[in-house]
Every structure is written in structure tokens, then in C-alpha cells.
Amino acid sequence: GAGVSQSPRYKVAKRGQDVALRCDPISGHVSLFWYQQALGQGPEFLTYFQNEAQLDKSGLPSDRFFAERPEGSVSTLKIQRTQQEDSAVYLCASSFGGGYGYTFGSGTRLTVV
């Protein structure tokens, strides 16, 4: 597609439920990033893939968070046993290679109740 596509746009989860957030990057983009944006804050880095390799996962806040990109294209961010503090907008971004020419998706707004 023309842009980075994220689904679902909105997700309401009950506390303790597992969720999976999907990111379809721009075709051919090698690098893929996940960021978490809490209300009133800037995006915070979660993890980074180059093709299927997860090169940096230093931003994942706990072992409840897991990301994968098995074929080097679509990526899924999974959150197990969701907590209220996980409520945020989850942004995915992709780029062709090095550099900072990120294209962000519109994000998935997760609300944990």
C-alpha cells in the first residue's frame, strides 16, 4: 500500500486479556519500528526490526510485550495479560533502510479497562 497500515485502529481490552496489534509497512521497507505514545507524551521507542531480525528490543517495558516480524514484512506486537498502564497509542513506522525517513502509521489506540 501507499502508507503504513495499522490494525485495529481502536482496541478495548479487559485487564488481563491478551492483545495483538498488526502493522503492514510500506512494501520494500527494510526497517520497522514500534513506539508507544501515552496521553500527552511523545512516542517512546519499543523495538526495531531490520527485515526479520529484531535488532533492538531495549524499549519493551516488560516480558509481557513481544514483537515479531517472521517474514520481514508484516509485524505483530503482542501484549499479554494487559494492564491499565498499557493504555496508549501504539505507533508503527517503517523506512527503506538507514536514515530517519520514517513513515509512521496512524497508530492503534489501546484502552485497557
Partner 1 sequence: DQQVKQNSPSLSVQEGRISILNCDYTNSMFDYFLWYKKYPAEGPTFLISISSIKDKNEDGRFTVFLNKSAKHLSLHIVPSQPGDSAVYFCAASPTSYNQGGKLIFGQGTELSVKP
Nearer to partner 1 (CB atom), residue 48 or residue 65: 48
Judged by CB under 8 A, the residue of 1, 27, 63, 100 near partner 1 is 100
Judged by beta carbon, residue 1 or residue 98, the one nearer partner 1 is 98
Label each residue of 41-81 as H, E or C. Answer: CCCEEEEEEECCEEEECCCCCCCCEEEECCCCCCEEEEECC
Is 28 one of the binding residues for partner 1 (CB under 8 A)?
no
Q: How far is the CB of 20 from partner 1 (least distance, A)?
A: 19
Binding characters for partner 1, 30-69, by CB under 8 A (x = yes):
-x-x-x----xxxxxx--x-------x--x----------
Closest to 107 in 3D by CA, of 36, 1, 15, 28: 36
Among residues 107, 94, 101, 99, the alpha carbon closest in space to that of 1 is found at: 94
Question: With contact defined as beta carbons under 8 Å apart, do 50 and 37 qualify?
Answer: no
What is the β-pairing status of strands 10-13 and 108-112?
Answer: parallel
Least Å distance between CB 38 and partner 1?
10
Q: Which residues bind partner 1 (CB under 8 A)?
A: 4, 31, 33, 35, 40-45, 48, 56, 59, 91, 93, 95, 97-107
